[in-house]
Amino acid sequence: MDVFVQLLSYPDVTIALPVSDVLVQLLTRATRETPCKGRFLMLFPRLPLVGNALRASSQTLQNVMNNERLSEQNSAYRHHRRLCQVVVLLASIQLDLWNPKHLPPNYELLLDLLLEVTAHPSLNVTILALQFWKRAIAHQTYRTVRVPPPLVFLCARSY
Amino acid sequence: MLVNIALREWPNKWPDMVDLLLNNLASRGLTELQFALNVFRRLSEDVSNAFENADATAKTAQPYAAPSAVDTTARTLPRSRQKAIVEALTNLARDRLINDLVHAIAAHSHALMQQGVSNEEKAAHQAVLLMALNTLYAFTEWAPLEYVSFFLTFLSYVR
């Protein structure tokens, strides 16, 4: 797994992009197919590597933005967008399997990354996170709690 | 051409194709391994396209596309052949291909990241790595999630 996730930060985006494509494909399917969902929580210990890749790709994107307009045709942008999707999809899976007594490792980092995605300058990226927050607020598990746990967690942390 | 033959003959009339490609051919060198993986990538993409086309046909009631004598695709094959190929590819993914791909990804990414690798060697490793990732992606599109996500549970042990 470490090898696989490390490739997300590989300097050549032609290698890094198919890795993020595979992860997004698997995670997207996992959000729809219940039986294997728990398996994807194994990605949480590697979340710092995902975070590093996301920040590195963000930096690359800043450099690219100076020279050209961003679009899905641009591999660096596509890779960056996939990494944001990985964060949001992981959060969605964790939300589906929410258990306040057993938070996964690096849960706080996940929330930090989610906030970064939410505040992203590109609306195409921000909308991914907003879709997650919308799901979190409407999640049936939290009807009795009134405020969804990720938000509680964030609010508690800010004090 | 090999993909065309496989679509017509494998697995019923060509049961040793997997052995021929993944054992005999792939062990000869990096180019041969890349070629062998490409055959399975193309087969998997063909199956995935056939699924999408079947969905689209069901929705729009498009006329049946007559098979071409020169170029075979899974879409133009009789339903029983499609079923046999999907079953064979699914079994292959479960039994060995995903495992082989993961080991190829780990081995060639390690080789890439090592110091003192010549540019030629680097290009060869990069080409195999890219092919392995693209093949994995082709399978993640349609193969049972249980099999294609299995690597997440043991990749951490691959060093």
Report ipTM for this prediction.
0.83
A1, A9, A13, A90, best to mutate vs chain B, most B CBs in 10 Å? A1
* Contact status, residue A138 vs residue A148, Cβ threshold 8 Å: no
CB contact under 8 A, B105 and A4: yes
Residue A140 token pair? 């049936």
Given this model, what pLDDT does residue B3 score?
A: 84
Chain B residues whose C-beta is within 8 A of a chain A C-beta are 102, 105-106, 109-110, 126, 129-130, 133-134, 136-137, 140-141, 145-146, 148-149, 151-153, 155-156, 158-159
The length of chain B, given as a count of residues: 159
Residue A72 φ/ψ, nearest 5 degrees: -65, -15
Question: What's the whole-number mean pLDDT along residues A113-132?
Answer: 88
For residue B64, pLDDT over 50 is answered with no
Query: Is residue A157 less than 8 Å (CB to CB) from chain B?
Result: no
Given this model, what pLDDT does residue B38 score?
A: 93
Given this model, what pLDDT does residue B157 score?
A: 44
- Tell me which range, A17-31, A125-139, B16-30, is most confidently predicted by mean pLDDT: A17-31
Given this model, what pLDDT does residue A48 score?
A: 93
Given this model, what pLDDT does residue B83 score?
A: 87
For residue B71, pLDDT over 80 is answered with no
Task: Select the residue of A18, A25, A40 nearest B152 (Cβ to Cβ).
Answer: A40
Cβ-Cβ contacts under 8 Å for B106 (sequence gap 6 or more): A3, A4, B155, B158, B159
Task: Find the domain containing A114 and state its range.
Answer: 2-158
* Contact status, residue A64 vs residue A76, Cβ threshold 8 Å: yes
State how far Cα A95 lies from the chain centre: 12
Task: Select the residue of B105, B133, B145 nearest A33 (Cβ to Cβ).
Answer: B145
For residue B61, pLDDT over 70 is answered with no
Instruction: For residue B153, list chain A residues with Cβ-Cβ distance below 8 A.
Output: 39, 42
For residue B68, pLDDT over 60 is answered with no
Query: Is residue A39 less than 8 Å (CB to CB) from chain B?
Result: yes
* C-alpha angle A80-A3-B140 in degrees, rounded to nearest 5: 65
In this predicted structure, which of B17-21, B62-66, B114-118, B132-136 has the lowest mean pLDDT?
Answer: B62-66
Banded pLDDT at A52 (limits 50, 70, 90): very high
Residue A156 token pair? 């508690």
Question: What's the whole-number mean pLDDT along residues B96-105?
Answer: 89
Question: What's the whole-number mean pLDDT along residues B86-112?
Answer: 89
How many CB pairs below 8 A link A and B? Answer: 65
Question: What's the whole-number mean pLDDT along residues B102-122?
Answer: 87
Banded pLDDT at B131 (limits 50, 70, 90): very high
Give CA separation, A12 vs A51, A67, A138, B135, in Å: 18, 18, 40, 19
A9, A14, A23, A29, best to mutate vs chain B, most B CBs in 10 Å? A29
Q: How many domains does chain A have?
A: 1
pLDDT, tens digit (0-9, with 9 covering 90-100), for A64-89: 777 677 777 788 899 999 999 999 99
Can you give the pTM of this predicted structure?
0.84
Given this model, what pLDDT does residue B154 score?
A: 54
Separation in Å, CA of A159 to nearest CA in chain B: 36
